[in-house]
Structure 1
Amino acid sequence: MTGVTLNGAIKRYGDVQVIHGIDLVVEDGEFCVFVGPSGCGKSTLLRMIAGLEETTEGQISIGSRDVTKADPSERGVAMVFQTYALYPHMTVAENMGFGLRMNGVPKAEIAKKVKAASDILKLDDYLKRKPANLSGGQRQRVAIGRAIVRGPEVFLFDEPLSNLDAELRVEMRVEIARLHKEIGATMIYVTHDQVEAMTLADKIVVLRAGVIEQVGAPLELYRDPDNRFVAGFIGSPAMNFLNGTVKDGAVDVPALGRAVSPTVKLPPDGTAVTVGLRPEHMEVHPGKGALHADLSEALGGVSYLHLDTPTGERIIAEERGDDRAREGDTVDITFEPRRLMLFDGKSGLRLR
Structure 2
Amino acid sequence: MTGVTLNGAIKRYGETQVIHGIDLQIEDGEFCVFVGPSGCGKSTLLRMIAGLEETTEGEIHIGARDVTHLDPAKRGVAMVFQTYALYPHMTVAENMGFGLRMNGVAKAEINQKVQEASAILKLDQYLKRKPKALSGGQRQRVAIGRAIVRGPDVFLFDEPLSNLDAELRVEMRVEIARLHNEIGATMIYVTHDQVEAMTMADKIVVLRDGRIEQVGAPMDLYRDPDNRFVAGFIGSPAMNFLECNVVDGRVTHPAFNHPVPVTSSVPANATKVTLGIRPEHLLVDRTGDTCTVDLTEALGGVSYSYLLTANGDKLIIEERDDERSKQGARIGISFSAERAMLFDNETGERLR
**Where does residue 44 of structure 1 map in the other structure?**
44
Using a 3 Å threshold, how does the CA distance of structure 1 residues 270 and 152 change in structure 2: closer, same or farther? closer
Q: Which amino acid aligns with 2:131?
A: P
Q: Which amino acid aligns with 2:304?
A: Y
Inter-partner Cα distance in structure 1 for 2:254 and 2:288: 17
2:261–2:336 CA contact under 8 A, matched in 1: no
**Where does residue 86 of structure 1 map in the other structure?**
86
1:282-303, Cα deviation, whole Å (9 max, x unpaired): 1112352221101111111000
**Structure 1 stretches lacking a partner, 5+ long:** none
**Where does residue 210 of structure 2 map in the other structure?**
210
**Where does residue 221 of structure 1 map in the other structure?**
221
Moved more, 35-44 or 291-300: 291-300
1:228–1:348 CA contact under 8 A, matched in 2: yes
Deviation at 1:256, TM superposition (A): 3.5
Inter-partner Cα distance in structure 1 for 2:343 and 2:217: 21
**Where does residue 151 of structure 2 map in the other structure?**
151
1:248–1:269 CA contact under 8 A, matched in 2: no
**Where does residue 196 of structure 1 map in the other structure?**
196
**Where does residue 30 of structure 1 map in the other structure?**
30
RMSD: 1.0
Inter-partner Cα distance in structure 1 for 2:146 and 2:321: 47
Using a 3 Å threshold, how does the CA distance of structure 1 residues 242 and 76 change in structure 2: closer, same or farther? same
Deviation at 1:250, TM superposition (A): 1.6
**Where does residue 268 of structure 1 map in the other structure?**
268
**Where does residue 169 of structure 1 map in the other structure?**
169
1:28–1:186 CA contact under 8 A, matched in 2: yes
Deviation at 1:162, TM superposition (A): 0.3
Q: Which amino acid aligns with 1:247?
A: V
Q: TM-score, normalised to structure 1's length?
A: 0.98
Deviation at 1:347, TM superposition (A): 0.4
Inter-partner Cα distance in structure 1 for 2:180 and 2:51: 23
**Where does residue 135 of structure 2 map in the other structure?**
135
Moved more, 63-72 or 321-330: 321-330
**Where does residue 317 of structure 1 map in the other structure?**
317
- The question of 1:185 aligning with 2:185 is answered yes
- The question of 1:350 aligning with 2:350 is answered yes
1:263-297, Cα deviation, whole Å (9 max, x unpaired): 12221154321000000001112352221101111
2:34–2:190 CA contact under 8 A, matched in 1: yes
**Where does residue 296 of structure 2 map in the other structure?**
296
Deviation at 1:259, TM superposition (A): 2.0
**Where does residue 340 of structure 2 map in the other structure?**
340
Inter-partner Cα distance in structure 1 for 2:281 and 2:187: 33
Report SS of the residue matched to 1:225: coil
1:246–1:267 CA contact under 8 A, matched in 2: no
Inter-partner Cα distance in structure 2 for 1:216 and 1:24: 11
Report SS of the residue matched to 2:44: helix
Deviation at 1:246, TM superposition (A): 1.9
Report SS of the residue matched to 1:289: coil
Deviation at 1:328, TM superposition (A): 1.0
**Where does residue 122 of structure 2 map in the other structure?**
122
**Where does residue 244 of structure 2 map in the other structure?**
244
Report SS of the residue matched to 2:286: strand
2:254–2:290 CA contact under 8 A, matched in 1: no
Inter-partner Cα distance in structure 2 for 1:65 and 1:94: 32
**Where does residue 328 of structure 2 map in the other structure?**
328
Inter-partner Cα distance in structure 1 for 2:310 and 2:159: 40
- The question of 1:60 aligning with 2:60 is answered yes
1:157–1:189 CA contact under 8 A, matched in 2: yes
- Aligned length, in residue pairs: 352
**Where does residue 104 of structure 1 map in the other structure?**
104
Report SS of the residue matched to 1:260: coil
1:104-146, Cα deviation, whole Å (9 max, x unpaired): 0000000000000000000001000110000000000000000
Deviation at 1:30, TM superposition (A): 0.2
**Structure 2 stretches lacking a partner, 5+ long:** none
Inter-partner Cα distance in structure 2 for 1:132 and 1:111: 22
1:12–1:18 CA contact under 8 A, matched in 2: yes
1:124-171, Cα deviation, whole Å (9 max, x unpaired): 010001100000000000000000000000000000000000000000
**Where does residue 11 of structure 1 map in the other structure?**
11
